[in-house]
Amino acid sequence: MNKSIELQDLGTKDFKDTWDYQEQLFKGILDTKIRNRRESLNLQTDNYFLFVEHPHVYTLGKSGDVSNLLLSEEQLVQKGATFYKINRGGDITYHGPGQIVGYPILDLDNFFTDIHKYLRFLEEMIILTLAEYGLKTERSPGETGVWLDVGTPFARKICALGVRASRWVTMHGFALNVNADLGYFDNIIPCGIRGKAVTSLNVELGVDKVDEAEVKKKLLKHFKVLFEAEFF
Protein backbone atom coordinates (compact mmCIF):
# COMPACT_ATOMS: atom_id res chain seq x y z
CA MET A 1 0.00 0.00 0.00
CA ASN A 2 1.31 3.42 -1.00
CA LYS A 3 0.40 6.07 1.58
CA SER A 4 2.60 8.75 0.03
CA ILE A 5 0.65 11.64 -1.47
CA GLU A 6 1.96 14.11 -4.02
CA LEU A 7 0.94 17.60 -2.91
CA GLN A 8 0.34 20.18 -5.62
CA ASP A 9 -0.74 23.77 -5.00
CA LEU A 10 -2.14 24.97 -8.32
CA GLY A 11 -2.68 28.56 -7.17
CA THR A 12 -5.55 30.27 -9.01
CA LYS A 13 -6.77 28.05 -11.83
CA ASP A 14 -9.87 27.89 -14.03
CA PHE A 15 -12.40 25.33 -12.82
CA LYS A 16 -12.72 23.46 -16.13
CA ASP A 17 -8.95 23.26 -16.59
CA THR A 18 -8.61 21.90 -13.05
CA TRP A 19 -11.45 19.41 -13.59
CA ASP A 20 -9.74 18.14 -16.76
CA TYR A 21 -6.48 17.80 -14.83
CA GLN A 22 -8.24 15.89 -12.04
CA GLU A 23 -9.73 13.55 -14.63
CA GLN A 24 -6.27 12.94 -16.09
CA LEU A 25 -4.80 11.98 -12.69
CA PHE A 26 -7.91 9.95 -11.79
CA LYS A 27 -7.73 7.99 -15.07
CA GLY A 28 -4.03 7.31 -14.55
CA ILE A 29 -4.72 5.64 -11.21
CA LEU A 30 -7.69 3.69 -12.60
CA ASP A 31 -5.67 2.48 -15.58
CA THR A 32 -2.97 1.14 -13.25
CA LYS A 33 -5.58 -0.67 -11.14
CA ILE A 34 -7.23 -2.20 -14.21
CA ARG A 35 -3.87 -3.31 -15.57
CA ASN A 36 -2.94 -4.84 -12.21
CA ARG A 37 -6.13 -6.88 -12.23
CA ARG A 38 -5.97 -7.86 -15.89
CA GLU A 39 -2.29 -8.85 -15.93
CA SER A 40 -1.99 -10.05 -12.31
CA LEU A 41 0.53 -7.32 -11.57
CA ASN A 42 1.19 -5.42 -8.36
CA LEU A 43 2.10 -1.97 -9.68
CA GLN A 44 1.96 0.83 -7.12
CA THR A 45 -0.85 3.37 -7.54
CA ASP A 46 -0.25 7.06 -7.02
CA ASN A 47 -2.11 9.49 -4.74
CA TYR A 48 -2.48 13.24 -5.17
CA PHE A 49 -3.76 16.18 -3.14
CA LEU A 50 -4.48 19.37 -5.09
CA PHE A 51 -4.99 22.78 -3.51
CA VAL A 52 -6.56 25.37 -5.80
CA GLU A 53 -8.46 28.64 -5.81
CA HIS A 54 -11.00 29.09 -8.60
CA PRO A 55 -12.31 32.25 -10.23
CA HIS A 56 -16.05 32.70 -9.55
CA VAL A 57 -17.86 29.51 -10.61
CA TYR A 58 -21.02 27.57 -9.77
CA THR A 59 -21.00 23.78 -10.08
CA LEU A 60 -23.96 21.41 -10.03
CA GLY A 61 -23.57 17.78 -8.93
CA LYS A 62 -25.11 14.93 -10.90
CA SER A 63 -28.07 14.61 -8.49
CA GLY A 64 -28.56 18.38 -8.28
CA ASP A 65 -31.46 20.55 -9.42
CA VAL A 66 -30.54 23.30 -11.88
CA SER A 67 -33.35 25.46 -10.49
CA ASN A 68 -31.12 25.97 -7.43
CA LEU A 69 -29.09 28.34 -9.62
CA LEU A 70 -30.92 31.64 -9.35
CA LEU A 71 -29.10 33.42 -12.22
CA SER A 72 -29.69 33.52 -15.96
CA GLU A 73 -26.80 33.06 -18.39
CA GLU A 74 -26.74 36.83 -18.87
CA GLN A 75 -26.57 37.45 -15.13
CA LEU A 76 -23.73 34.92 -14.79
CA VAL A 77 -21.74 36.95 -17.29
CA GLN A 78 -22.52 40.16 -15.39
CA LYS A 79 -21.26 38.52 -12.18
CA GLY A 80 -18.09 37.34 -13.90
CA ALA A 81 -19.01 33.75 -13.07
CA THR A 82 -19.22 30.48 -14.97
CA PHE A 83 -21.45 27.42 -14.47
CA TYR A 84 -20.77 23.70 -14.95
CA LYS A 85 -22.72 20.49 -14.47
CA ILE A 86 -20.19 18.03 -13.10
CA ASN A 87 -19.78 14.40 -12.09
CA ARG A 88 -19.57 14.62 -8.30
CA GLY A 89 -22.28 13.92 -5.77
CA GLY A 90 -24.29 16.68 -4.15
CA ASP A 91 -26.21 19.65 -5.47
CA ILE A 92 -25.05 23.17 -6.35
CA THR A 93 -22.16 25.04 -4.80
CA TYR A 94 -19.98 28.07 -5.38
CA HIS A 95 -16.20 28.36 -5.68
CA GLY A 96 -14.28 31.60 -5.79
CA PRO A 97 -11.46 33.77 -4.45
CA GLY A 98 -10.88 33.49 -0.72
CA GLN A 99 -11.93 29.86 -0.65
CA ILE A 100 -9.53 26.95 -0.12
CA VAL A 101 -10.51 24.09 -2.41
CA GLY A 102 -8.91 20.70 -1.88
CA TYR A 103 -9.09 17.78 -4.30
CA PRO A 104 -7.67 14.53 -2.86
CA ILE A 105 -7.26 12.08 -5.73
CA LEU A 106 -6.55 8.93 -3.80
CA ASP A 107 -6.60 5.19 -4.34
CA LEU A 108 -8.48 4.26 -1.18
CA ASP A 109 -7.10 0.72 -1.53
CA ASN A 110 -3.95 2.35 -0.15
CA PHE A 111 -5.83 3.59 2.93
CA PHE A 112 -9.25 2.01 3.61
CA THR A 113 -12.13 1.02 1.37
CA ASP A 114 -14.99 2.93 2.95
CA ILE A 115 -16.45 6.02 1.25
CA HIS A 116 -18.46 7.08 4.31
CA LYS A 117 -15.32 6.92 6.46
CA TYR A 118 -13.50 8.93 3.79
CA LEU A 119 -16.13 11.70 3.87
CA ARG A 120 -16.18 11.73 7.68
CA PHE A 121 -12.36 12.03 7.74
CA LEU A 122 -12.49 15.01 5.37
CA GLU A 123 -15.07 16.63 7.66
CA GLU A 124 -12.93 15.81 10.71
CA MET A 125 -9.90 17.45 9.11
CA ILE A 126 -11.94 20.66 8.73
CA ILE A 127 -13.41 20.44 12.24
CA LEU A 128 -9.97 19.98 13.82
CA THR A 129 -8.48 22.81 11.77
CA LEU A 130 -11.23 25.27 12.67
CA ALA A 131 -10.94 24.27 16.34
CA GLU A 132 -7.43 25.73 16.21
CA TYR A 133 -9.09 29.07 15.49
CA GLY A 134 -11.43 28.69 18.45
CA LEU A 135 -14.47 27.66 16.40
CA LYS A 136 -16.71 24.79 17.43
CA THR A 137 -17.91 23.24 14.18
CA GLU A 138 -19.72 19.97 13.61
CA ARG A 139 -21.59 17.72 11.21
CA SER A 140 -25.27 18.23 10.47
CA PRO A 141 -27.24 14.93 10.34
CA GLY A 142 -28.10 14.04 6.75
CA GLU A 143 -26.13 16.98 5.32
CA THR A 144 -22.50 16.60 4.31
CA GLY A 145 -20.07 19.37 5.08
CA VAL A 146 -19.10 21.28 8.20
CA TRP A 147 -21.44 23.62 10.08
CA LEU A 148 -21.75 25.97 13.03
CA ASP A 149 -24.71 26.12 15.44
CA VAL A 150 -26.36 22.96 14.09
CA GLY A 151 -29.96 22.53 15.22
CA THR A 152 -30.50 26.26 15.84
CA PRO A 153 -32.01 29.03 13.68
CA PHE A 154 -28.43 30.28 13.24
CA ALA A 155 -27.08 27.11 11.56
CA ARG A 156 -24.58 28.04 8.86
CA LYS A 157 -22.23 26.08 6.63
CA ILE A 158 -18.54 26.92 6.39
CA CYS A 159 -17.31 23.99 4.29
CA ALA A 160 -18.97 22.04 1.46
CA LEU A 161 -18.04 18.49 0.39
CA GLY A 162 -18.72 16.63 -2.82
CA VAL A 163 -16.79 13.65 -4.18
CA ARG A 164 -16.80 11.10 -6.94
CA ALA A 165 -15.37 7.59 -6.55
CA SER A 166 -14.83 4.67 -8.92
CA ARG A 167 -13.00 1.44 -8.04
CA TRP A 168 -12.11 3.17 -4.76
CA VAL A 169 -10.38 6.06 -6.54
CA THR A 170 -11.59 9.51 -5.43
CA MET A 171 -11.79 12.95 -7.03
CA HIS A 172 -13.35 16.36 -6.29
CA GLY A 173 -13.34 17.12 -2.55
CA PHE A 174 -13.97 20.06 -0.22
CA ALA A 175 -14.34 23.85 -0.35
CA LEU A 176 -13.59 25.78 2.84
CA ASN A 177 -14.67 29.42 3.03
CA VAL A 178 -11.74 31.33 4.53
CA ASN A 179 -11.96 34.84 3.07
CA ALA A 180 -14.86 34.23 0.70
CA ASP A 181 -17.22 36.85 -0.76
CA LEU A 182 -20.44 35.43 0.70
CA GLY A 183 -22.58 37.58 -1.59
CA TYR A 184 -22.02 35.04 -4.36
CA PHE A 185 -23.91 32.43 -2.34
CA ASP A 186 -27.04 34.62 -2.59
CA ASN A 187 -27.30 33.57 -6.24
CA ILE A 188 -27.92 29.89 -5.42
CA ILE A 189 -29.72 27.67 -2.96
CA PRO A 190 -26.45 26.23 -1.58
CA CYS A 191 -26.40 22.42 -1.75
CA GLY A 192 -30.16 22.64 -2.37
CA ILE A 193 -30.76 23.45 1.31
CA ARG A 194 -33.20 26.30 1.87
CA GLY A 195 -33.19 28.62 4.85
CA LYS A 196 -29.65 27.96 6.06
CA ALA A 197 -26.85 30.49 5.85
CA VAL A 198 -23.28 30.20 4.65
CA THR A 199 -20.32 31.70 6.48
CA SER A 200 -16.57 32.20 6.15
CA LEU A 201 -13.70 31.91 8.63
CA ASN A 202 -12.81 35.61 8.48
CA VAL A 203 -16.44 36.54 9.24
CA GLU A 204 -16.59 34.18 12.21
CA LEU A 205 -13.31 35.56 13.58
CA GLY A 206 -14.34 39.17 12.91
CA VAL A 207 -11.21 39.95 10.89
CA ASP A 208 -10.66 41.29 7.37
CA LYS A 209 -8.39 38.49 6.24
CA VAL A 210 -7.15 35.13 7.51
CA ASP A 211 -3.76 33.78 6.41
CA GLU A 212 -4.75 31.10 3.88
CA ALA A 213 -1.27 29.56 3.76
CA GLU A 214 -1.51 28.94 7.51
CA VAL A 215 -4.94 27.32 7.12
CA LYS A 216 -3.55 25.00 4.41
CA LYS A 217 -0.72 23.90 6.71
CA LYS A 218 -3.20 23.05 9.45
CA LEU A 219 -5.44 21.12 7.04
CA LEU A 220 -2.50 19.05 5.81
CA LYS A 221 -1.34 18.37 9.38
CA HIS A 222 -4.70 16.89 10.33
CA PHE A 223 -5.15 15.05 7.03
CA LYS A 224 -1.74 13.42 7.51
CA VAL A 225 -2.68 12.11 10.96
CA LEU A 226 -6.17 10.93 10.01
CA PHE A 227 -5.04 9.10 6.86
CA GLU A 228 -1.65 8.04 8.28
CA ALA A 229 -0.17 9.55 5.13
CA GLU A 230 3.00 11.33 4.04
CA PHE A 231 3.16 14.28 1.66
CA PHE A 232 5.90 15.01 -0.81
- Active-site residue list: 191
Question: What strands lie across the sheet with 57-60, from one edge to the other?
Answer: 82-85, 57-60, 92-95
Going by C-beta distance under 8 Å and a sequence separation of 6 or more, which residues neighbour residue 142?
none
Residue 196's CB is within 10 A of a number of other CB atoms, namely 17
Query: CA-to-CA distance for 93 and 87, rounded, in angstroms?
Result: 13
Q: Rounded to an integer, what distance in angstroms lies between the CA atom of residue 76 and that of residue 230? A: 40
For residue 109, which of 29, 35, 172 has the smallest C-alpha distance?
29
CB 63 within 8 A of CB 90: yes
**Residue 214: partners with Cβ closer than 8 Å, 6 or more residues away:** none
